[in-house]
Amino acid sequence: MTTNFIPAQRVASMQSSSTLAVLQKAENLRRAGYEVYDLGAGEPDFNTPNNIKLAAHKAIDENFTRYTPAAGTVEIKRAIIDYIAANTGANYNPQQVVVSAGGKQTIFNAIVTLINPGDDVLIPAPYWVTFPEIVTFAGANSVIIDTESNGFQLTAEMVEAHLTPKSRLLILNSPSNPSGRVVDPKEFERIAEVVVKNNLWLLSDECYYQFTYQPHKPFSAASLRDELRARTLVSGSLSKTYAMTGWRLGYALGPQDWIAEMVKVQSHSTSNPASISQKAAIEALSGSQESLKEMLYEYRRRRDYLIPALNQIEGIECVEPEGAFYAFPNVKKVLDSNSKIKSSADLADYLLEEAHIALTAGSAFGTEGYLRISYATSMEILQRAIDKMTEAIVKLVKG
């Protein structure tokens, strides 16, 4: 039935999430009875740890089921402040914290409260798909900084080279989804210096902060010196860190005035994040961190299997990710060596149809010639997927 519904312009120009599109295609295959190797989801395969679940049960039993302050309870703000202080040494006060329904809401609120139509927002590519879409929603322009020539490492010089008179915000995501790159602390500081010198603001999306593999060290913008921190918003999430994607719990710490505007928007849209999730998050942040260590160990073990295995496949070259749980292999030689499949999107489709492997094309993240493979899945599935992928690519290249 046609309804003649015409969406608002700022929404019409947004694209649907391409990572969710992969999940949908994989689901269709599954429903048709096929086994699908899902390397597409940016979601831990672990269950939420028991101590966290128990805290949620207790919250329900104690009827902690009502509205809370829109920005989150005093207790959860305290837990976040203490967690950040323990990890970075930084001090924040409760007016500098807002708790939201996931990191996505935090980032949405951060962008729409800062950015005016016509502003320029600097985004290094490859980027998390949602960043430019929120910028579009805000009526602003994404200025993409291509980092491929430097092995996906952003530098202060690259930021400087992309500044325009309308630049207002730089979005950093380290460790990066999808490249797995971690910005070196010294470079991070130089980048923040460019931001402050040019009166920009910095949004540091740190949802993979804890997933940084030795010898690389997690670095949070919260550790920047005060004059740099004054123009920086740190965005965090419990989704990946504590395998809590469905609980929807994220937070931001930053300049009090920016936070106040984010709270205003949130109070008129979703109000507080779920009261029960807040109680669970307090336990996650301040209780035992054993499960986090176990998950990090397991991700590293999978990465250490996956990267050499990918490099064994003819035409695929993959550098070792330093953080997060994604590999981002270069597949340009595969694309060049056959006459049928010419783009990363076609290759992703081919692998889904031919080998039932769900993964995401690099073009979805603004960088053509790559694939994103999530290793937040069991070792067994990874191994079987690699076998299938090897067969499918040999067939493509030889056929």
Ligand X SMILES: Cc1ncc(COP(=O)(O)O)c(C=O)c1O
Tell me, letter by letter, the H, E, C secondary structure of 354-372: HHCEECEEHHHHCCCCEEE
Of 74-82, 87-95, 97-105, 327-335, the window that binds ligand X (rule: CB under 6 A) is 97-105
Q: Does 205 bind ligand X (CB under 6 A)?
A: yes
Q: Considering the complex, state which of residue 245 and residue 338 has its C-beta at the smaller distance from ligand X.
A: 245
Q: Is 42 in the site for ligand X (CB under 6 A)?
A: yes
Compute the distance between CA of residue 73 and CA of residue 139 in angstroms, rounded to an integer: 33
Least Å distance, CB 41 to ligand X, is: 9
| CA-based nearest residue to 206, from 218, 214, 197 | 218
- 168 is a site residue for ligand X (CB under 6 A): no
207 binds ligand X (CB under 6 A): yes
Which one among 245, 286, 289, 390 touches ligand X, defined by CB under 6 A? 245
Stretch that binds ligand X, among 96-104, 213-221, 253-261, 343-351 (CB under 6 A): 96-104
Beta bridge partners of 210: none
Verify binding: residue 250, ligand X, rule CB under 6 A: yes
Say if residues 226 and 254 touch (Cβ distance below 8 Å). no
Give the Cα separation of 106 and 182 in Å (integer): 21
Q: Please name the helix (run of DSSP H) or strand (run of DSSP E) that holds residue 35, with its range, or none.
A: none
> Which segment (28-36, 49-57, 68-76, 101-109) binds ligand X by CB under 6 A?
101-109
Could you say which of 142, 147, 237, 277 contacts ligand X (CB under 6 A)?
Answer: 237
Q: Is 239 in the site for ligand X (CB under 6 A)?
A: yes
DSSP 252: E
Q: Which stretch binds ligand X (CB under 6 A): 9-17, 32-40, 102-110, 347-355?
A: 102-110
Q: 122-161 as b/e, with b when 16 or more CB fall inside 10 Å? A: bbbbbbbbbbbbbbbbbebbbbbbebbeeebbbbbebbee
What Å distances lie between residue 234 and 163, 239, 326, CA to CA? 22, 16, 22
Compare residues 223 and 237 and give the one whose CB is closer to ligand X.
237
Site size with ligand X, rule: CB under 6 A? 13
Element (H, E) at 135: helix 130-137
Binding of ligand X by 321 (CB under 6 A): no
Select the span of 51-59, 100-108, 305-313, 370-378 touching ligand X (CB under 6 A).
Answer: 100-108
Closest distance of CB 2 from ligand X, Å? 34
The verdict on 128 binding ligand X (CB under 6 A) reads yes
Q: Does 38 bind ligand X (CB under 6 A)?
A: no
Asked if 261 and 113 touch (Cβ cutoff 8 Å), the reply is yes
Residues in contact with ligand X by the rule CB under 6 A: 42, 102-104, 128, 173, 177, 205, 207, 237, 239, 245, 250
